[in-house]
Amino acid sequence: MTINITKGELKTIDVTLAQEVKSGPDLRILLIASILVIVVIIFYLSRKRKPKPGIEKTTKIEITGRMRDIIQTLTDRERDIVELLIENNGKLTQAEIRHFLRNPKATISRDIHCLKQKRIVETIKIGRNKEIILTKWFLGHEG
């Protein structure tokens, strides 16, 4: 069907379509999907930036003569634990100590218990992990 309109003439035309016109995607769905993608990206980037648990080498602990004398009285395994703690700023988890020394859990646990009795280390329970820290007494910061 053809309609001719001349310049300046006013006509009213009713258009009836044979098929229903489909609109583009709903903007609400597009907005929700965009927000979801942004949240996922932010979550991924924030998790990536967190430092992984492990060895922190910020400040090195200087071994004093007193510390050396105390270390000489320890068993080989206890000495290995204390030296590993000294190399790692005086703080590691029990699992990290076990990982680095490649000793069984029970052995490490017994050795740490002995070191606690000798006032060389303290343990702090964090969730299911134990953080092992050199004591102020051993480091010579306390009387």
The four Cα atoms 113, 131, 123, 72 give a dihedral, to 10 degrees, of 50
Indicate whether 4 pLDDT > 60.
yes
| Cβ atoms < 10 Å from Cβ of 89 | 16
Which domains occur in the chain, in start order? 65-139 (1.10.10.10)
- Contacts for 83 with CB less than 8 Å, ≥ 6 apart: 71
**pLDDT bracket for residue 25 (50, 70, 90):** low
pLDDT score of 75 = 95
pLDDT of residue 54 exceeding 70, the answer is no
Q: Region 80-97: what's the mean pLDDT?
A: 93
Q: Distance (Å, rounded) from C-alpha 90 to C-alpha 120?
A: 11
- 94 or 52, higher pLDDT: 94
Residue with more model confidence, 41 or 50: 41
Q: What pLDDT score was predicted for residue 72?
A: 94
pTM: 0.58
More confident residue, 109 or 26: 109
Average pLDDT over residues 53-67: 72
Q: Is the pLDDT of residue 56 over 60?
A: no
